[in-house]
Amino acid sequence: MIINKETIVELAGKDQRIDGRKLTEYRQPIKIETNISWTAEGSARVQIGETVVMAGVKLSLEKPYNDTPDQGGIMINAELLPLSSPEYEPGPPQIKAIELARVTDRGIREAKAIDMKKLCVLPGEKAWFVIIDIVTINDAGNLFDAANLAALTALKAARFPVVDPKTGAIDYKKKTEEPLPLLKEPLGVTVYKINGKLLVDPNIEEEHSYDARLTVAADEKGTISAMQKGGTQPLTVEEISQMVELALEKADFLRKQLDESLKK
Amino acid sequence: MSELIAKERSIVIPGEALAEGMDYLPGQNTYREEEKIYSNVVGLLSLSGRAIKITPLSGPYVPKDGDKIIGRITDITMTSWRVNTGTAYSAMLNVRDATTRFVKNGEDLSKIFSIGEFIVTKITKVTSQKLIDLTMKSPDLYKVSGGRVIKINSQKVPRVIGKQGSMVSLIKNKTGCNITVGQNGFIWLKGEPKGELIAERAIKLIEQKSHQEGLTSKIETFLEEESKNN
């Protein structure tokens, strides 16, 4: 892979980018598809530019955790498939995959987006567990935003499977009309800092050239649920507030895209 | 009785029978098995006299003596640099061949070329084991500074250069960029950021539409439209 870091840094200083976009412009096309997999209770495929990420939601009945006997739970797992980038290898998840899963997880979990108490079927005995799997199909940069968007879309598209009232067995082949009890719709947007300038939606070259990044997950009202800072350089207080502002603005933009594609 | 099975200028795939009989000869990227000639690669079939040859549409770069290429420094050893040339084989640039000036014993080699930098270099020798020796001792070989390096399929390099460099000089004129094309598919562009962007798009377009006819005029209209829009 070729990374023209010097040119990217130099151009950022002049408010320009290597692919000719504005600093706060997302790549096109932004495509969001739902129900791409019939084996999952809810699924989504998100494309931002050339980056493609898929997410699937599986629901299963499990014994609740001992400290929260009246609640269900969520689990989020991300896999960076070797087919999506020459950098990724098969094997146990590496640091990048763990971070991607954790950031997506925290955005949804800490926003208390899913009504966990409604997931409980029988306190202390049975509750629904929401398992979200994120897989990257192509990594052309900005996996964080694509994964966040895919996870949220999959949650919105998910429908409970049919449960046999007598035996309690789940028939995964049939779905009910009942959606997940979503209270909020958290969405994370990552803002990158290169040469003192803030930008969103980096391509693969920019993702290898940044100084610092901040992922801000917030719900539709702008209540922040989680943040994650990355990169080697520090951030000032002013920069963080600017980044949060930019992230909230871009989250609104992505939410509109999501609503539009769900209408179709 | 000899007969051509595949049509001329058609796209063939590996293992496809091209011709039958001993009157035809296997040329580039083809082989003979008993009476028939088969293809080795995906490509366009062409006939030159009795010889059948195939211009490949894809495939890796195979290093050749005398090729001018662009490579990236990946490692520095005691007396040489290791260079990534986009091939599966490793290339070495010895201190002797790196500069015309005298390099003192124990001098910091990263002052000359450091890791991650791109160089325009020439292949002096490819051994039977495909180990590549490089040289920088020529006035048209230099270190890349600024601009951007992009990579295309090395099989499309002749299309990007065009007949007697017609395509590359067209892009140079319209965008005002300096363009250096390496035989390994690495291309260095330097100019105004907007010009670089248009040149990059034009080159990607050539890569995409390389086998179509009237490519030069298509690229010309593309470049004119792009420069109008900006």
pLDDT band at B55 (very low <50, low <70, confident <90, very high): confident
Question: What is d(CA A221, CA B144) in angstroms, rounded to the nearest whole number?
Answer: 49
Query: Quick check: B221 pLDDT over 70?
Result: yes
CA distance B19 to chain A (A): 37
Domains and CATH numbers, chain A: 5-263 (3.30.230.70)
Q: Is A2 on the interface with B (CB under 8 A)?
A: yes
Q: Which of residues 119-148 of A touch B (CB under 8 A)?
A: none
Contacts of A14 in chain B (CB under 8 A): 193
Question: What is d(CA B96, CA A248) in angstroms, rounded to the nearest whole number?
Answer: 57
Q: What is the mean pLDDT of residues A107-122?
A: 93
Of A1 and A37, the one with more pLDDT = A37
pLDDT, tens digit, for every residue of A6-52? Answer: 999 999 999 999 999 999 999 999 999 999 999 999 999 999 999 99
Q: Is A16 on the interface with B (CB under 8 A)?
A: yes
Q: What is the mean pLDDT of residues A108-131?
A: 93
Same fold, B68-143 and B148-229: no
Annotate B16-46 with b (16+ C-beta within 10 A) or e (fewer): bebbbeeebebbebbeeeeeebbbbbbbebe
- Residue of chain B whose alpha carbon sits nearest to that of A8: B148
Query: Quick check: A114 pLDDT over 90?
Result: yes
pLDDT, tens digit, for every residue of B85-144? Answer: 988 888 999 999 998 888 888 889 999 999 999 999 999 999 988 899 999 999 999 999
CATH of domain B148-229: 3.30.1370.10
Query: Quick check: B59 pLDDT over 80?
Result: yes
Question: What is d(CA B45, CA B27) in angstroms, rounded to the nearest whole number?
Answer: 10
Query: Quick check: B80 pLDDT over 90?
Result: yes
Q: What contacts A190, CB < 8 A, 6 or more positions away?
A: A142, A144, A145, A200, A213, A214, A215, A216, A247
Q: Is the Cα dihedral A83, A209, A153, A95 positive or negative? A: positive
pLDDT band at B230 (very low <50, low <70, confident <90, very high): low
CB contact under 8 A, A10 and B194: no
Query: Quick check: B62 pLDDT over 90?
Result: no
Q: Is B149 on the interface with A (CB under 8 A)?
A: yes
Q: What is the largest CA-CA distance in chain B?
A: 70
DSSP β-bridge partners for residue A135: A54, A79
Fold of B3-56: OB fold (Dihydrolipoamide Acetyltransferase, E2P) (2.40.50)
What percent of chain A has pLDDT above 90? 91
pLDDT, tens digit, for every residue of A43-91? Answer: 999 999 999 999 999 999 999 999 999 999 999 999 999 999 999 999 9
Question: What is d(CA A252, CA B10) in angstroms, rounded to the nearest whole number?
Answer: 51
**Alpha carbon separation from B116 to A50, B96, B185, B194 (Å, rounded):** 25, 21, 18, 25
pLDDT value at residue B8: 85
Query: Quick check: A246 pLDDT over 70?
Result: yes
Contacts of A20 in chain B (CB under 8 A): 193-194, 197
3-state secondary structure of A204: helix
Interface test with A, best of B85, B118, B148 (most A CBs within 10 A): B148
- Cβ atoms within 10 Å of B193's Cβ, excluding its own: 17
Q: Are B187 and B194 in contact (CB under 8 A)?
A: no
pLDDT band at B212 (very low <50, low <70, confident <90, very high): confident
Question: What is d(CA A39, CA A48) in angstroms, rounded to the nearest whole number?
Answer: 24
Report domain extents, chain B: 3-56, 68-143, 148-229
- Residue of chain B whose alpha carbon sits nearest to that of A16: B193
Question: What is d(CA B186, CA A211) in angstroms, rounded to the nearest whole number?
Answer: 27
CA distance B89 to chain A (A): 16
ipTM above 0.85, yes or no: no
**In chain A, which residue ranges form alpha helices assigned H by DSSP?**
5-13, 95-110, 143-157, 204-207, 237-263
Q: Is A241 on the interface with B (CB under 8 A)?
A: no
Q: Which of residues 191-220 of A touch B (CB under 8 A)?
A: none
Fold of B68-143: OB fold (Dihydrolipoamide Acetyltransferase, E2P) (2.40.50)
**Alpha carbon separation from B179 to A22, A106, B6, B188, B197 (Å, rounded):** 25, 47, 38, 6, 12
Q: Is B197 on the interface with A (CB under 8 A)?
A: yes
pLDDT value at residue B210: 82
Quick one: DSSP state of residue A180?
A: P
Inter-chain contacts counted by CB atoms under 8 A, chains A and B: 23
Give pTM, 2 decimals: 0.87
**In A14-136, which residue ranges form alpha helices assigned H by DSSP?**
95-110
**Alpha carbon separation from A142 to A43, A205, A226, B151 (Å, rounded):** 20, 11, 18, 21
pLDDT value at residue A65: 94
3-state secondary structure of A157: helix
Residue labelled with tokens 């499977």: A161
Average pLDDT over all residues of chain A: 94
| B141-144: long-range contacts, CB 8 A cutoff, minimum separation 24 | B141/B68, B143/B113, B143/B117, B143/B118, B143/B119, B144/B70, B144/B117, B144/B118, B144/B119, B144/B120, B144/B180, B144/B188
Structure tokens at A185: 């719709």
pLDDT band at B1 (very low <50, low <70, confident <90, very high): low
Contacts of B147 in chain A (CB under 8 A): 4, 7
Helix axes A95-110 and A143-157, enclosed angle (nearest 10): 50
